[in-house]
Structures are given as C-alpha cells and as structure tokens.
Amino acid sequence: MKISRDRERETKRRFDLHTEDPASSELARDINRDIVLELLRRRQPIARVDLARLSGLQRSTVSLIVEQLIEERWIVEGATVRTARGRRPTMLSLNADLVILVVDVRPNHAVCAVVDLNGHFLSRESVPIAAGAEVGVARIAEVLLRLRAGLERKSFEGIGVSLPGRVEPETQQLLWAPNLKWQGYDIKAALEERLGLQVEMDNAANSCMLSELWFSRQGSLRNAVLVTISEGVGAAVLANGQLLTGERGMAGEFGHIPVDPAGPLCNCGERGCWEMFASTRAVLRNYAEREPGKLITSFTALMSLADQGDSHAIAALEQQAVWIARGLRMVTAALSPECILFAGDITACWQRSGSIIQRELAARMLTGKPPALIAIGDGEMARLRGAAALVLQRHSGYHRSTASSSRSVQRDHADEPHEVFA
C-alpha cells in the first residue's frame, strides 16, 4: 500500500511536456536527470529498477542517466543486494566525495563553507569583506583555497555564491546591490581565476527559496514568496511553480518600492522604500529617534532591551512588524501566494513580531484568509545550501537552459522533515 502511494506521488513529479512550458527535449532530459538525482538523494542506496519504478521513467532512460552520472562521478555503485527472486541489483548512492564550495556574501562579511551533494556541511569560515570588492573577493578566495586544502581527498565540483543583490542570469554579473556596492567588479572571473572552478551566483532571497525547494519541506509549494529581512529587505517569488527572474534577474525587489514619498533616503536613491521601514536598520533608527542619548548598534542588542522590558525597544519592534505587514499587502495583492516564508534577522524575534505581522496582514487582505507565514531561520544555512543548489542546477543544465526566462523547480517531498546539518 505504501509503495503504491509512493509511486503515485513520485510519478506525478515526472516532467510532463503537456502541462509545463514548451520545452526542448534537452530540457526534458535535464529535468528527468534532476528527478533521478533527487530520488537518489532521498532513497539512497537504491537500485536502477527502483529508480525507474519511483520516477515513472523508462528503465532505458534511467540506465542512460545513471551511466552518465557515474561517468561524471556524481553517483557511485555499491554493494549488490540479493532480492526475493535471487537477482542481485547493484545499489547506487550519491558520491559523498564530491563537494561544492559555497559563499554567502553579506554587506560586511562573507561566510564560506563546503557542502556535499546530500546538503551536509563539512566546514565553515567567516571573513570580513568591508574593504571593497577587490579586497573582499580576494579574501573570500583565500578562505575557499584554505577550505579546499583542508579536504584534499574530496573532489570539488564548483562554487556557488549568494549575494545581497541582483545577478543577471545570462552574464552572471552583479547588476544591482545597494547595500554592497560591488557592481562593476567581475566576482565570477576573479574567483574562477583563483580557484579554477566554475562559479554560479544568485540573489540571497532566490538562494533561500532554492534551498527550501531542493533540500527542505517546502518542496510542494507552487505559489510562495520568500522575504528576507535583515539589514535590507529582499524577496524571491515562486509563481505557478516557477522561480521568477524577470528581465535581467531584477524581479522581486519589493523592498525598494516606496511606501512613503517623504520617508528617509534609501541606498537605492529613492525616498521612503519599504526597506527603510521594515529592515533591522529601520528598527535601530526608530529606536535612536525615541532614545536620542542611547547608542544601540545591533539588532540583537535591541532585542535584548525589548526582552528586558524597555518600552522604546518594544515599540520600535512593533512598528517594524506593522510596516512589514503593510508591505506584505503589496506582495499578497500582486502575487496571491499560498505561503510567505521569512528568513533573516527577523526570525530571531519571530515570537514577538510574527503574531503582529499575522494580525496586521489579516486586516489588509483583499479577500479571504491571509497566506501562511513561516519563519525558516536566520537564513545563513539556507543561503549556503541554496548556493550549492545553484551549482547542482547548473550541472544538470536546467539552470542554463531556462536562465533567460525563469526556473521551474518542482519538488514533492513535503513529507520530509527539515534535515539537521552538523
């Protein structure tokens, strides 16, 4: 009974040319390859015959994909297992020795790490990068070289980079990053030259969304928005199962829609952007206005003040939550998501802010119930795993072949709990 249910569920995930975008056979092959890879990740060790049964793909198709993946060292053959009928299928697993270097670039520091094909972290190191693009990227390269040197038995597949800005999909250049100011510097070329590995880059919110779709429990979502709220406010949009990039990768910049024309000047050059009221910088500014003599420079410090009962800190956080909900009115009216995921510093005070956002948003819906609001954590792990997913996608050819329009990522593993990473 369980097997037939599994089969029904997983067969539905087959790429169907009739219901998806008009696609080349190359794209269909890439998607089938993704499906085989994901089944391997979830069910390993697994035999070819079971891959065919669970994917609903032809056995010959599965065999071809498996041979290619073995040749490329993504999967390895293991022990043979005796079945009831006496046959001995060879079990397949993801190659645990194949790993990806990942970087999460924030406005003032970057976190570098090594992730394997199963999404496990092997090492992690933080590096300051406030000195500008050239020095910052050189420091990141030094750390990546050191991480690689510490794992000399592993085989490195590529580098994935998550950035607090928008990356043009075709050129992989940082197009716009008001809180980083690294535009015009070729990050990809600099890292590729130092490391000798291919680099894939994307926006931090997109990276978080990809991580949720590839590695976490949100894989069955069709319409969702992921909002990152830290020093800035970013968003990624999943609409009808497609991760939107828009023209030149610029889709999703809700944080830079003005909500008060008389508001403070934003780093983007406009006044009163949503980010100027909903970000953690906005909370600190708000607190400074209420308590001019008291210098609080971190969101964490402000949260502790609120926990100690400081009424101005509590009021500043409540004001932020109300502004978040006001901006989400734009998001829900424009996109009607079934779910809004939150990442970034805001998740640290979710107990305080989540219910206010929920209440304020419910009062602002055009019609019906508000979408589910889910805090997924500070996002560092999600951004790093998402950066790994960027490389996984490139390898399958899927990212490349759809880069000019959008990326469709359909995963159905809602039954899986969030994995715990060491």
The CB-of-270 to Zn ion minimum distance in angstroms stands at 5
The smaller minimum CB distance to Zn ion, of residues 161 and 266, is found at 266
180 lies in the site for Zn ion, by CB under 5 A:
no
As measured in angstroms, the least distance from the Cβ of 310 to Zn ion is 29
Stretch of 37-45, 182-190, 270-278, 392-400 lying at the interface with Zn ion (CB under 5 A): 270-278
Q: What angle do CA 393, 188, 142 make, to 5 degrees?
A: 110
Q: Which residue bears the tokens 């490389």?
A: 391
CA distance 358 to 356: 5
- Residue 370 CB neighbour total at 10 angstroms: 20
Q: How far is the CB of 263 from Zn ion (least distance, A)?
A: 10
Nearer to Zn ion, 279 or 286 (CB): 279
Nearer to Zn ion, 35 or 266 (CB): 266
Nearer to Zn ion, 276 or 373 (CB): 276
DSSP 265: B
- Determine, following the binding rule CB under 5 A, whether residue 273 of this chain makes contact with Zn ion: yes
Per CB under 5 A, which region of 117-125, 201-209, 210-218, 253-261 contacts Zn ion?
Answer: 253-261
Instruction: Among 37, 57, 161, 266, indicate the residue that binds Zn ion (CB under 5 A).
Output: 266
Query: Which residue number, 143 or 273, has a Cβ lying nearer to Zn ion?
Result: 273
Which range in 63-71, 88-96, 268-276, 338-346 contacts Zn ion by CB under 5 A? 268-276
Q: Is 268 in the site for Zn ion (CB under 5 A)?
A: yes
256 touches Zn ion (CB under 5 A): yes
Question: If we measure between CA atoms, which residue out of 113, 103, 99, 117 comes closest to residue 156?
Answer: 99
CA angle 234, 236, 242 (to 5 degrees): 170
Q: In angstroms, what is the minimal distance from the CB of 257 to Zn ion?
A: 8
Shortest distance, CB of residue 269 to Zn ion, whole angstroms? Answer: 7
- 259 lies in the binding site for Zn ion (CB under 5 A): no
Residue 266 DSSP symbol = P
Give the whole-angstrom CA distance, residue 320 versus residue 312: 12
Sign (positive or negative) of CA dihedral 22, 24, 29, 34: negative
Q: What is the spatial distance between Cα 161 and Cα 103, in angstroms, rounded to a whole number?
A: 5
For Zn ion, which is the closer residue by CB, 254 or 287?
Answer: 254
Give the CA diameter of the chain: 80
41 binds Zn ion (CB under 5 A): no
Burial 304-317 (b: 16+ CB within 10 A, else e): ebbeeebebbbebb
Between CA 297 and CA 302 the distance in angstroms is 8
Of 155-163, 183-191, 210-218, 265-273, the window that binds Zn ion (rule: CB under 5 A) is: 265-273
Q: What's the min distance (Å) between Cβ of 107 and Zn ion? A: 14
Least distance in angstroms from the C-beta of 324 to Zn ion: 16
| Contact (CB, 8 A) for 253 and 244 | no
Name the minimum Å distance from CB 398 to Zn ion: 32
Q: What is the b/e burial string over 64-93, where b = at least 16 CB atoms within 10 angstroms of the residue's CB?
A: bbbeebeeeebbbeeeeeeeeeeeeeebbb
Residue 395: which of 193, 98, 152, 176 has the closest Cα? 98
Give the nearest distance from C-beta 258 to Zn ion in angstroms.
8
177 binds Zn ion (CB under 5 A): no
Between residues 101 and 163, which has the closer beta carbon with respect to Zn ion? 163
Q: Give the span between the Cα atoms of 204 and 252, in whole angstroms.
A: 12
- Cβ-based nearer residue to Zn ion, 267 or 402: 267
Q: Name the one range near Zn ion by CB under 5 A: 67-75, 151-159, 255-263, 338-346.
A: 255-263
Q: Are 219 and 412 in contact (CB under 8 A)?
A: yes
CB of 300 to Zn ion, least distance (A): 24
- By the criterion CB under 5 A, which residues form the site for Zn ion? 256, 266, 268, 270, 273
